[in-house]
Amino acid sequence: MTTSVKSGEAPVRSEHDIVLARQQVRRLAQELKFSLVDQTKMVTAASELARNALVYGRGGTMHWTVLEADGRKGLRLKFADEGPGIANMDLAMTDGWTSGNGLGMGLTGTKRLVNEFEIDSAIGAGTRVTITRWK
Amino acid sequence: MEKIPILRMGEFLLVTIQIDMHDQLALKLQDDLSAAISKNASKGVLIDISSLEMVDSFIGRMVADISGMGRILGAETVLVGMQPAVAITLVELGLSLPGIATALNVERGMALLRRKMDADGADDDQR
């Protein structure tokens, strides 16, 4: 059974918010005593998704939850925006593809940095990306 | 206005990134560096990222762009001091920074730049 130990949220409305989101995730990962590599992966994943929410989703919110399941602790982040949504999910999840001027590593690359990755989006209904990393 | 200082050391430029950069600051550094390379006719750029605890695709692209612009302006770029956790994360993210010279620290980076310049000089002699 997965239970929520604590949770919170932070706005992703400006570039400065991306920096603050990274710092918040770093603090949480440190509290959970993640290894340095795991901290770095989670912080980097958060940075990619926060930027996506800002650039492609016109801003949104990062929801964070510290989880516990069968004695293991984890950190879950959900980035939700009210942007245009993703028209072609298969394409968006292809390495090297970008609709903007990015490197096209955002979503697929982020998926490789975490243990669990979920994306939910529809045209006109925004995008929600949820990632989880377990200690 | 925040700014990342660019130090001139003879024919080289040294940039030490010590803060968690927001995107505009990274773009400004890119502009400032290309202007500095051009103004000083620099032959090499050392970017020290030993204080950076994270490099995401945006910063990775900035480094790649600086390296590409520098080459066109006649300067080689060497990225130095990347923390191991950052390197592991970058590669898993899918960014292996192809074509960008790297070194473990500033000292080795400087030596690498000198070797590159000597090699270029040797090529010139042969022509």
The full length of chain A comes to 135
Mean pLDDT of A120-128: 92
pLDDT at position A92: 81
Residues from chain A that touch B58, judged by Cβ atoms under 8 A, are 47, 51, 102
CATH label, A2-134, candidates 3.60.9.10, 3.30.70.141, 3.30.565.10, 3.40.50.2000: 3.30.565.10
CA of A5, closest CA in chain B: separation in Å?
27
Q: Quote the pTM value.
A: 0.91
Smallest CA-to-CA distance from A128 within A107, A99, A100 is with: A107
Residues from chain B that touch A37, judged by Cβ atoms under 8 A, are 84-85, 88-89
Question: What is the DSSP code (8-state) at residue B113?
Answer: H
Neighbours of A99 (CB within 10 A): 14
Q: Which residue has the higher pLDDT, A122 or A130?
A: A130
pLDDT for A88 beyond 90 = no
pLDDT for A99 beyond 70 = no
Mean pLDDT of A93-106: 64
- Domain extents in chain A: 2-134
Smallest CA-to-CA distance from A13 within A65, A51, A63, A64 is with: A51
- Domain extents in chain B: 6-126
B6-126 is classed in which CATH architecture?
Answer: 2-Layer Sandwich (3.30)
Residue in A with minimal Cα distance to B85: A37
> From the candidates B1, B18, B57, which should be mutated to test the interface with A, based on the most A CB atoms within 10 A?
B57
Q: Which amino acid is at B56?
A: D
Task: Give the contacts of B102 (CB within 8 A, at least 6 positions apart).
Answer: B78, B79, B80, B82
CA of A28, closest CA in chain B: separation in Å?
15
Q: In this complex, how many residue pairs, one in chain A and one in chain B, have their CB atoms less than 8 Å apart?
A: 73
pLDDT for A86 beyond 90 = no
ipTM rounded to 2 decimals: 0.89
Residues lower than pLDDT 70 in chain B: 1, 123-127
pLDDT at position B28: 95
pLDDT for A83 beyond 70 = yes
CA atoms within 13 A on the CB side of A43: 27
CB-CB contact of B75 with B42 (8 Å): yes
